[in-house]
Structure 1
Amino acid sequence: MRSQFPKIEKVVVQPFILRSQLYSSVKDRTQVDRDLESMKKEKVLRLFKLNTGQDDDAIMFMDDYLKQVATSVKRLGTKSQQEMQVFEWFERHIIESKLDVSINHQELLSLLSFGGEVKDNDVTLLINAGLLTRQLIDPNMYWFAIPNIGTILKGVSQGRKELLSFLNRRKYKEMLLAPLEKKRLRLSPLDMRFHLRDLIGSGHLKTINTPTGLLVRVSKY
């Protein structure tokens, strides 16, 4: 799935996979969750909570995430030595040791201070670089974030709606997979395969074997 991540013009984002997409390919969801947890502890990958209106988890390989962080720092165009140090501390003392999807303010400052003296605007710097986002419910908590992912997140949400709306307008709310995969979505930069895996894994769509091929149908909730 990583190798099949769509190439998107003008957006520099390393490939990521949604947990729901894994569920579409591996029937045993408990095993998926267990394996992800184990790979997270081994620092092979990182998990991120997405603010797409559903309980979505993005999965990114650690090497890809570190590349994404480096790109984000470059884009910020920071020149001062102090600012560059903050990013180094973040990489060395936080990415390496804090593997959860979130971190509280005190722990953030405490881990950063292993690098040196931490100032309030150092946290702002990390937020501006897209590495952290404040939680709305508790302003003392931050989500770890994938920088520069805004356009794609919008595409994930809009693509879901567009695909479900398209199928819901069809007579039996279904279509054969092969011709459906060839269709393009207007509101998402991601390809049809990305959205189909997501919606099948999250249970919004189901697949049925028929003599003419695999059929995709809207699930009845």
Structure 2
Amino acid sequence: MEEKVPECSSKGTKRRRDEEDSDGGNGVSLEDHLTFSDTLVALRIMRAQFPHIHKGSVEPFILKSQLYSSVKDRTQVDRELESLRRDKVLRLFKLNTGQDDHGIMFLDDYLNQIDRVVKRMEGKKGEEYEVFGWFKTHVLDSKLETGIEHQDLCSLLSLGGKVKDNHISLLINAGLLTRQLIDPNKYWFAIPNIGALLKGLVQGRNEVISLLSRRRYKEMMLATLEKKRLRMSSLDMRFHLRDLIGSGHLRTDQTPTGLVIRVSKD
């Protein structure tokens, strides 16, 4: 039970506000829901716990690192992700926030995301906008990897109609494709409108590490830490902790009073 703090206590008021803001309204403790035995179960729960972003224009997504923190057997995670990808339950995306960063989105959510982008562009509709239908029907349905070559992209789009340069430009401008830096003839599949959240992801990672590094032993009780409010990221503390634990930047240790989160030694 939360200790009652007099309203005149600004510190207590701030603490309560931080707890309310970070809780996401579902009252679920991360300590009680940190690990799962099944990848799909973990994905569904983390999807349900995705932070409510103000001006939300991005469907819930999960990081592969978060799965690694939640399902202990990484080989199992990779195997089950591959199976779910091949069954077209979800898609994986290479993110530009780190060398090994991958985002995961359920396919239905991704298609909704595309529909939202197309709807926003409806006022400027021209004949090129048919490419979004081709992209969903022919490209996404047959190309399940995280990237695609220019020739393959044009070949698949041509199943819908005659492909023009404007079609490709439209897909890039809509945020569905990004050019690979190493080879400009290859593209990464991408999640539209995710840029601001990825910036927050990087800043939030640094903020959490900095917060713990300033502590005497570079550690904090999980129950206390998950109630902290982040200033640099609209993604909540729970989202960042799962990511940082799974990527190895933080580690957990069980103590008689609960789980402790520590900065991993280099």
Measured in 1, the distance between the counterparts of 2:182 and 2:99 equals 16
Unaligned runs of 5+ in 1: none
1:1-221 residue pairs with structure 2 within 5 A?
1-77=46-122, 79-221=124-266
TM-score by length of 1: 0.98
1:95 is matched by which residue type in structure 2? L
The CA deviation at 1:82 is 1.8
The size of the alignment, in residue pairs, is 221
1:58 is matched by which residue type in structure 2? G
The CA deviation at 1:77 is 3.3
Stretches of 4+ aligned residues off by more than 6 angstroms: none
**Contact 2:93–2:190 at 8 Å: present in 1 too?**
yes
SS of equivalent residue, structure 1 residue 30: helix
Measured in 1, the distance between the counterparts of 2:162 and 2:123 equals 19
The CA deviation at 1:78 is 5.2
Measured in 2, the distance between the counterparts of 1:60 and 1:78 equals 28
CA-based RMSD of the aligned residues comes to 1.0
1:166 is matched by which residue type in structure 2? L
Provide closer, same or farther for how the CA distance between residues 78 and 134 of structure 1 changes in structure 2, counting only shifts above 3 A: farther
Measured in 1, the distance between the counterparts of 2:123 and 2:76 equals 43
The CA deviation at 1:75 is 2.0
Measured in 2, the distance between the counterparts of 1:71 and 1:111 equals 23
2:73 is matched by which residue type in structure 1? D
**Contact 2:128–2:166 at 8 Å: present in 1 too?**
no
Unaligned runs of 5+ in 2: 1-45
SS of equivalent residue, structure 2 residue 198: helix
TM-score by length of 2: 0.81
The CA deviation at 1:102 is 0.2
SS of equivalent residue, structure 1 residue 163: helix
The CA deviation at 1:79 is 4.1
C-alpha offsets along residues 151-180 of structure 1, whole Å, 9 cap, x if unaligned? 100111100001001111110000000010
SS of equivalent residue, structure 1 residue 187: coil
SS of equivalent residue, structure 1 residue 48: strand
Measured in 1, the distance between the counterparts of 2:221 and 2:185 equals 48
1:88 is matched by which residue type in structure 2? G
**Contact 1:78–1:84 at 8 Å: present in 2 too?**
no
Of all paired residues, the percent bearing the same amino acid is 70
